[in-house]
Amino acid sequence: MVFSSPAFLLFFLLYILAWTFLDKRFRLAIIITGSLFFYGYWKWPYIYIPVLLTGIAYVGGRVISAATGCKKTLLIVSTITALSLPLVLFKYLNFLLGRTVVSYSLPLGISFITFTLISYLVDVFKRTYDVEKNFNWLLAYVMFFPQLVAGPILRPSQLLPQLKNIPEPDSETRIQALTLFTIGLVKKVLIADQLAPYVATVYKHPSDAGLTDFLVALYGFSAQIYCDFSGYSDMAIGLALFFGIQLPANFNRPYLAKSITDYWRGWHITLTSWFRDYVYRPLCGKEPSPVRQFMSAFFTLILCGIWHGAGWNFILWGAVHGIHVGIYHLMKRYNHSILLPTSLKIFLMFHVIAAVNMLFHASGLSNAQDVFNAAFHVGAPGIFTVQSLVFPMVIIILFYMTHPFDTLDTLKDIPNRLRKRRLIGGLAMAWILVIILGFTSGGSEKFIYFDF
């Protein structure tokens, strides 16, 4: 069920009616049953997967909290292994074996669910969070539908206490929530969905593409993937805010990064912090050698690439980022820096990121290479005419003009900065445009990160 679909809007209306008019003692049941319906709507036979994974984590957490000595380490390793087995089976088995062994479709949000539960187990193991003794609360933490299938990836301390003591949001909070959801919807439907067919055409016919088409793929896909995923995050944060629950920011102007670490501080923040805390820092140790620090960064980003998808293009994506981050840390360790104007640093960093991002859209390394080769087809007639590119270019330019203002704090402050009439008018206009484009294009496409 896509947030930008009419089916979801009907679901959310019924959900919030039940939330508002039923007694508060039923809210835990509403969270679980509503979220299970939301998940099962995509594919009912898979509804057991999040419940099964939560059951493994629940039992593992109880046993880990009671164990002592080296048994505890063995328990967490075995429990995490058991949690990861479905992910390996559904997502990586065919790639590892080099042939099709299983032909099941990838369960929705399985990567996010697995990482959410691993963070719970590790926090219980480290005693930074008390073990949850009520299975239903742990299930609600995992299944809370706004963040269920594509994040933000939440630590137990970020969500469970809020679920157990949900404040009643006032009208200002609800208006703020509606504004965030609408902005996310605009990013998805008016930017990402409109650019998607142009970018897809270049990847489908790279041999016919010229330099102009390559630039559409380069700038268009960077705008598309950002608006698609940050749009989802904005909608998720807005939906949670309807119930008074605060979710953390997941993006912070990543395309204004001056360095590779700046970029990772602003892109998919909750995933970045997950890999930093649960992979990179344990690998590095307290006082790592230069080689260990470099290899820790390299391995962490390789694992991040594999998390995104089973393919050599994702592994290469991770390797490039890993080498980049590793070199940055080495330069910082030895006080080396590149003296360039800030604007030039941003310009160069964006183009490096945009080029590497193109590996995400490719069906494989050969497809990615064919698209990159289009940059050198200077005299080729190309796929698109100048007239057909006016619309996507306007969208791309508008996106990059507004990107510097796209922070969660800025978006949350919009209702305070605008008069009520202007805010209502702006929200109404946005919804009208979304509805018109939704009908004319045959509906909104699924979110890119649903495949991850």
Enter the tokens of residue 76: 């967490």
Residues with Cβ within 8 Å of residue 400, at least 6 apart in sequence: 219, 223, 255
Phi-psi region of 133 (alpha: psi -120 to 50; beta: other; left: phi over 0): alpha
Active site residue 308: yes
> DSSP character for 310?
S
96, 97, 100, 106: CA torsion to nearest 10? -30
Rounded to 5°, the CA angle 373-377-379 comes to 180
Cβ atoms of 87 and 61 within 8 Å: the answer is no
Q: Which of 205, 268, 308, 336 is catalytic?
A: 308
Closest among 226, 211, 254, 157 to 396, alpha carbons compared: 226
Q: Please state the separation of Cα 27 from the chain's center in Å.
A: 27
Cβ atoms of 250 and 417 within 8 Å: the answer is no
Distance between CA atoms of 326 and 331, rounded to whole angstroms?
A: 9
Closest among 232, 272, 219, 270 to 249, alpha carbons compared: 270
Distance between CA atoms of 124 and 115, rounded to whole angstroms?
A: 14
Distance between CA atoms of 337 and 22, rounded to whole angstroms?
A: 60
Distance between CA atoms of 255 and 308, rounded to whole angstroms?
A: 20
User: What is the DSSP track for 244-301?
Assistant: T---------GGG-SSHHHHHHHSSHHHHHHHIIIIIHHHH-SS--HHHHHHHHHHHH
Active site residues: 308
